[in-house]
Structure formats: C-alpha cells, structure tokens
Amino acid sequence: MKTVLITGSSSGYGLETARYFHAQGWNVITTMRTPRDDVVPQSERLRVVALDVTRPESIAAALEASGPIDVLVNNAGIGGFGAFEATPMATAREIFETNTFGVMAMTQAVLPQFRERRSGVVVNVTSSAVLAAMPLVAVYSASKVAIEGFTESLALELEEFDVSAKLVEPGYSPATHFTSNTGARMDGLIPEAYAPFAQRVLADVEQAAAVTNPSDVAEAVWRAANDASEQLRFPAGADAVALAQSR
C-alpha cells in the first residue's frame, strides 16, 4: 500500500486531495501548520502531522514522524493580490518563502529516500497564473512560475534514479479564492489609484464561465502521481485546460 504526504491540507485543494487518495485506498499523511483531525476522514490509513514548510526543523520533524513515503504533493501556498508598486519587498519574500522555497525545501528533504529506493514522485501544485498573465498578482505569479522552471529541470535530473517530478496547474476556484488566504499581509496593497482597476479585475474573475473545482485538482494530482509517461504538466479544471490548450 502506497503512502502520500500532502502539504497544506487543512482546506481547499490539499484537503480534497487527501480525501481523494484516501478513497483510493492509499495511506495518507495530511500536514498543516496547526494540526486538525476534524476535517479529514477518521481512519487508520490517515494521519495528521504538523508542518510549516518555511521552517527546516519543522520539515525534518514531519518527515521523521511520517516514515517512508511514495509521493510528495507540494500543495501548501499563500495568495497574493495587490499592485506591485505598493507591495513591500518583505511581503514578496514572505510569499516566496512558502510558495517557492518551501516547495524546494520539502523536495530536497525527501529526495534522498526516493533516490535510494529508485522510486518516488514529486507533484508540485502551481496555478493557472503560469498559463496566462493576470494583473495584480505579479509576485504570486512569479513565485509559481519559479516552481515551473524548478520542476522542469528537476524532472530531467531525477530520471537517472527512476524518480518523477510533475506539475499540476489549477485554474480559478471560487471555493478556494486566491485572495482568501492572503491575510493581513495584503492590507493596503490596492492604493486609491488602483482601486477602480482592481474592482474591474475581480469582477471579471468572479464572472468567469469556466472554473475549477477542488475535485478537479485532486483528480489531476492523482493522475500525476500515477503517471508513468513523460508528461510533465497536468492542467486542472476547465478554465486551466482551456488556457493550456490555447498556449
């Protein structure tokens, strides 16, 4: 029986992915900064482990508690919405710490066991922001595009050891709005001069005909984790699929 470890699985895509893998009969390790077991299925095949991907000691402790895993799903991420002109570099670094360096740190930590076993899959969840430009998410987009390049290169170097690296690119989901987990860090990032433009952007996004459901992402992660071909990218959701096909 295989084991998957999913970062950022207290809600949204991560939680739905944990439920999906569990339903397929896998052992599932759900991770979150503040562990909660009331949001996941109660099962001997599911464990909740504390993890902050921005802290090396937390990563080490989580992996020690988890034991051997077969698939790592790097899903943890934070949103970022605002005018770049008004975005402090400290905020940009905070977004990169989770969305980019957190993914890299988790991946680096699990690679020794994958390499030694000559088996394993790293699935990195990015965003449809890598498929088409969108205003007011410049830093967020940059943090996700960085993971695209990282994974492209990583996939090539891991082939030597029969280890895979894949990308899942979710579209926009009203259920997991990218502005919903921005927190106080986004306060004041829409200056008065940008306010009318920001309102139009958000209205256009909210009125989008095609959207992504969390189940779309869970299914895409499942396909990526079990894919034996050379396919690297797995768009998730009708809008993301359409953007990928139009590129």
- Catalytic positions are 140
Instruction: Dump strand ranges (E) for the chain.
Output: 3-6, 27-32, 46-50, 71-74, 121-125, 164-170, 233-236
- Give the whole-angstrom CA distance, residue 165 versus residue 74: 11
- Give the whole-angstrom CA distance, residue 219 versus residue 21: 9
CB 141 within 8 A of CB 129: yes
- Give the whole-angstrom CA distance, residue 150 versus residue 215: 26
Query: Which positions ≥6 away from 224 have C-beta within 8 Å?
Result: 121, 123, 166, 167, 168, 234
- Give the whole-angstrom CA distance, residue 193 versus residue 207: 23
